[in-house]
Amino acid sequence: MKLASYNIQYGMGKDGNFDLDRIVRELGDPDLIALQEVETYFARSGMVHQAEEIAARLPHMHWVYGPGIDLDASEIVDGKPVHRRRQFGNMVLSRWPILSSINHTLPKIALRSIFHLQRTLVETVIDAPSGPLRFCSVHLDHVSADTRRDQVEYMMDIMLRGHERGASAGGEVKGPEWADRPMPPQPMTAIVMGDMNFQPDGPEYTRVVGDVSGWHGRTIRAHGLADAWTLAGHDEMDGDTIPREGRGPRRIDHCFVTTDLADSVTGMQIGQDAVGSDHQPIFVTLER
């Protein structure tokens, strides 16, 4: 199973050009894709619905889109409103059917004099050949550890206890209007990928994967989350997913898996040659 995640910066590359074809090329041919900073009907990106445009370039894949920002972009033409929403959020694409999805609104703190955005986590249940699993695309806050703290807690709760909540619809079906298809499962097994805006030496990373023991290293919980990067054999502090000239490496785009998948992770790479965004895509391979 091949996974990819990419903060596409609404299609604007390092050269300042907007090019969704380039984004799709740089993703390659994965089975599951998590995208962030996908927008709809912004003047800067040509007033298009980027989620629909990306999906059109990957016609073999199922997809869902979950905006955090949802503003009016309508206009009056011939006395009638042309309905459009100016949106900004996350996307999931899957080679296999997406049985259900939930767009979670993450906690947000109103800030003074700092531009600040509503963030979301798109949780899906994928009908994968090896069995259903939850696959999530997330974008956490960019401002500070303080504005991310509650978002990380929310993300952890979804990943580790989301099966207790159940799917968006479930239970005994009493009416024929719900019985045309089986209700979706809500498995414990889960993967979350995305731009999390924290580095491995920060408190948010420690909250996700555990504290450091002087004797034993990271104290990964038996029923917790593990970093696919280190599972694939890399050092925590290696890697750079948002390179900037004159600044040291920063790995802020991550893939975390529930620990029942830890032994399945066989590889992870950063797409160092990609130029379609200010971020680099990440790629994970699981034997599952």
Give the CATH number for residue 19: 3.60.10.10
Per-residue pLDDT reduced to its tens digit, 118-162: 999 999 999 999 999 999 999 999 999 999 999 999 999 999 998
| pLDDT given at position 271 | 98
Strands lying side by side in the sheet with 62-72: 62-72, 85-94, 32-40, 2-7, 282-286, 265-270
What pTM was computed for the model? 0.96
| pLDDT given at position 118 | 97
How many Å is the maximal CA-CA distance in the chain?
72
Contact status, residue 21 vs residue 267, Cβ threshold 8 Å: no
Domain membership flag for residue 177: no
Q: Which residues pair with 66 in a beta bridge?
A: 90
| pLDDT given at position 252 | 98
| pLDDT given at position 165 | 86
| pLDDT given at position 268 | 98
Domain membership flag for residue 175: no
Handedness of CA 45, 20, 56, 65 (dihedral sign): negative
Distance of alpha carbon 90 from its chain centroid, rounded?
6
Cα(102)–Cα(98) distance, integer angstroms: 11
Q: Give the side-chain half-sphere CA count within 13 A for 127.
A: 11
Query: Domain containing 115: what range?
Result: 2-168+183-286
Cα(77)–Cα(83) distance, integer angstroms: 10
Domain membership flag for residue 178: no
Domain membership flag for residue 173: no
Q: Which two tokens mark 20?
A: 């969704």
Domain membership flag for residue 176: no
264: burial class by Cβ within 10 Å (0-12, 13-18, 19+)? Answer: middle
| pLDDT given at position 248 | 78
| pLDDT given at position 76 | 92
Domain membership flag for residue 174: no
Domain membership flag for residue 158: yes
Number of domains in the chain: 1
Contact status, residue 288 vs residue 225, Cβ threshold 8 Å: no
Low-confidence ranges of the chain (pLDDT < 70): none
Cα(281)–Cα(76) distance, integer angstroms: 39
Q: Give the side-chain half-sphere CA count within 13 A for 119.
A: 28
